[in-house]
Amino acid sequence: MNFEITPAAEKFIRLMLLADGAPGSGFRLVVSPGGCSGLAADISVLPTPAPGDAIVERKGVKLFLPAESRILLDGVTIDFADTASKTGLVFHDPKGSSCSSGSGGKPVP
For 15, list phi and psi in degrees, rounded to 5.
Answer: -65, -40
Encode pLDDT of 15-45 as tens digits.
999 998 888 899 999 998 876 556 888 999 9
Rounded alpha-carbon distances, angstroms, from residue 69 to 24, 44, 73, 75, 89: 21, 14, 6, 12, 14
Phi and psi at residue 19, to the nearest 5°: -75, -40
Could you say which DSSP state residue 60 is in?
Answer: T
Q: How far is CA 8 from CA 50, 87, 94, in A?
A: 26, 12, 19
Q: Which domain holds residue 87?
A: 4-100
The pLDDT, as a whole number, for residue 92 is 86
Query: What is the predicted pLDDT for the residue at 96?
Result: 64
Residue 21 lies in a domain: yes
Burial readout 35-65 (b: 16 or more C-beta within 10 A, e: otherwise): bebbbbbbbbbeeebeeebeebebeebbbbb
Q: What are 47-74's pLDDT values in tens digits? A: 999 999 999 998 889 999 999 999 999 9
Residue 109 included in any domain: no
| 105 inside domain | no
Could you tell me if residue 95 is inside a domain?
yes
- Tell me, yes or no, whether 45 lies in a domain: yes
Inside any domain, residue 20: yes
